[in-house]
Amino acid sequence: MQKNLIIVESPAKAKTIEKFLGKDYQVLSSYGHIRDLKDKGMSVDVANHFKPDYVISPEKAETVKKLKKAAKEAQTVWLASDEDREGEAIAWHLYTVLGLNDNDSKRIVFHEITKPAIVNAIENPRKIDLNLVNAQQARRVLDRIVGFELSPILWKKIKPSLSAGRVQSVAVRLIVEREREINQFNAEAFFRVNALFLLPDGKSVIKAELNKKFATETEAQAFLESLKNAIFTIEDVSTRPGKKSPAPPFTTSTLQQEASRKIGFSVSQTMSIAQRLYEAGFITYMRTDSLNLSTLALNASKKEITDEFGAKYVKIRQYQTKTKGAQEAHEAIRPTYMNNHAIKGSDQEQKLYKLIWERTLASQMADAELERTTVSIGISGKASEKFLVQGEVILFDGFLRVYLEDTDDETSDENTDSLLPPMKVSEKLLLNEASAAERLTQRPFRYTEASLVRKLEELGIGRPSTYAPTISTIQQRGYVIKGNKDGEARPFVTLILKDNNINKKVKNETVGADKNKLMPTDSGFVVNDFLTENFPLVLEYNFTADLEKEFDRVAEGKIQWTDTLDKFYKLFHPIVETVSAMKTEYKVGERLLGTDPKTGKPVSVKIGRFGAFVQIGSAEDEEKPQFASLTQGQSIETITLEEALSLFGLPRTVGEFNGKTVTAAIGRFGPYLKYDNAFVTIPKTHNPYTITIEDAEKLIAEKQERDANKTLKNFAEDAKLQVLNGRFGPYIAYEKNNYKIPKGIVPKNLTFEEAMKIIKEAPEKKAKGKARKKK
């Protein structure tokens, strides 16, 4: 009989823990939650104090069977799932399903997977914290109620297959509102003046910026004219000490943000890699909003800093958590052993570990000591306009020796701080060159995944365990995309004063381009507007944040979880009934663009089952309305009447090629050319509305060449058998199945018998849906 059974969530965690314990301990994995609310129906009995209807997940039946058998054979079952609310709920479900009791089971928690931590946890077991379990249940049940009651309304009022979530809908609202701010923003041009001055030593040149900006080219030109005969004098040189302090160690949200800025990881990617590092015993628990570090970690950091850089670089700090409701774990994210400067693992794991190690070490290092110098240069005949020079010298690098936090600020500082040469008040300077460059006022920035996490945290919406799933969900549901936005080329004027002459240069620059930013889709706009108008309570930032505080109070044992749900449901359900019964004269999301000049019929844009489309006419007309889908890059939010009408120009005749007509059109898989009963995809580099016959001929010829090279061999014995050339090399195609050709065989030389033998001996293909494992 096995003495001890330890149950954790993941096999990787089990494998690491097994290394630390002897033969008296068996470690098994539950592979996450073993049961959840039923998929069908709401699975919540509202009338019976919101009692959840839990079922064992079908894919977990075998796991549960194995765990039950092992639990019966063990003297003591140790429930060792993660220490947050989700982990506590997993432990409670295991306790219930496995039929355990307080005599034969114990709950243990640890925030790092090291031998001392595991041994300490076993020496200090506790009971399952039902307050934490109930906080998780409250969130799970409330989110199910919102999704179950809102989604059918979206199907009915907008289109089928839509869904709504409490936190997800608020995240979409943030992105929609930001996109509208950008669309409504009117950039204003201004001119920034910089100058290069030669110091009295005849060698040193400094760059300075004027303390004033000009609204027009005429004003900038007049100012440069006034500099031609001006005298420039140093009026003030001020030097003041300064310091920079290190950023605190990582929480979940700051790790997600910094990994995005420094390494380019997505939020979900960061959490996946951090999970692997935690389960391998390299870092502490990765879902936390605490900034605290243990005494052990502080002492280990002190030793590393002293050994590596000297005692003067040490400044032990204990940071205070500012996030309201911080409760998920007892420590910030840090390496389990500070003397491990690097780890073995994948390239991504090494990069993230290095980031965590450096941030943790830097948080316990001395401030950087600086000296900041500002020089003011006066212009004769002008009292208010001054040229300013700023420089910064690092006197002691402190934590900068190891790490400097990045920011999301996308503005560039053209007057970079630097070391300045010696300068004295009253010294006269010689103007080498002055320039007035046209710039634009900066529009609001689109959210990155990382900056959205920061915003959600600022608003008190969500918790460490919910940030990544929220951002993944809104993209999976098609309300938001992470993508690139092409900018617009715009001419910019630069006026240059040199040798008492002013020259004008005009060059084109691209403005408004974005990369890897979150943008709402048409569905995102329409669903957000509908929910904001009809369910302002659900979309209200403060209300959503207050619910998080309610969950925190449940976790602290201050209120009953069913009371929180009851209070919410009494507010929410009557609105659902009212909106569901409400009839509207127009389709939700419909936008009237104007009138078709040819027919006099209304032109509108709306969201449909297969996406956004333009409609000419209405259902009440005798003639059937005309429809056209929006193309990539177009949005129901911004499309104009002219752009909408142009969509009805397809299919269009492009011209003739070898005596046959070439037609351009758009189908369900995108734009294409039709030629001689064959279809040729039009790539993104071409537009179906404007593609020329010359470009079409090239695409057709390329397709014909690919088709000609595709078939390597046919077989007279069976017309269904072919040897084809694919993206990954030659293969055998037979009866809608593909077969790999073994190495060493020349595809063109294959005989019918050899090909059929390869097919017969090929491994049996897995059924669809089972071929891929969940990531």
Any idea which residues carry the catalytic annotation? Answer: 285
**Cα dist from 532 to 176, 187, 585, whole Å:** 11, 28, 19
Q: What are phi and psi of 136, to 5 degrees?
A: -65, -40
DSSP output for 691-731: --HHHHHHHHHHHHHHHHHHEEEE-TT-TT-EEEEETTEEE
Between CA 112 and CA 280 the distance in angstroms is: 10
Strand 488-498, strand 501-511: pairing:
antiparallel
Between CA 33 and CA 202 the distance in angstroms is: 74
Answer whether 485's CB lies under 8 Å from 517's CB.
yes
Instruction: Determine the 3-state secondary structure of 300 from DSSP.
Output: helix
Q: Which one, of 268, 699, 737, 673, lies nearest residue 470 by Cα?
A: 268
Between CA 124 and CA 107 the distance in angstroms is: 9
In the block, which residue shows the tokens 């190690």? 357
DSSP output for 218-278: HHHHHHHHHHTT--EEEEEEEEEEEEE-PPPPB-HHHHHHHHHHHT---HHHHHHHHHHHH
608 membership: H or E segment, kind and range:
strand 602-608
What residue type is assigned to position 498 of the chain?
K
Can you give the three-state secondary structure of 497-566, one letter per residue? Answer: EECCEEEEEEEEEEECCEEEEEEECHHHHHHHHHHHHHCHHHHCHHHHHHHHHHHHHHHCCCCCHHHHHH
Answer whether 596's CB lies under 8 Å from 616's CB.
yes
Instruction: Determine the 3-state secondary structure of 107 from DSSP.
Output: strand
Between CA 502 and CA 560 the distance in angstroms is: 75
Tokens of 8: 């954790």
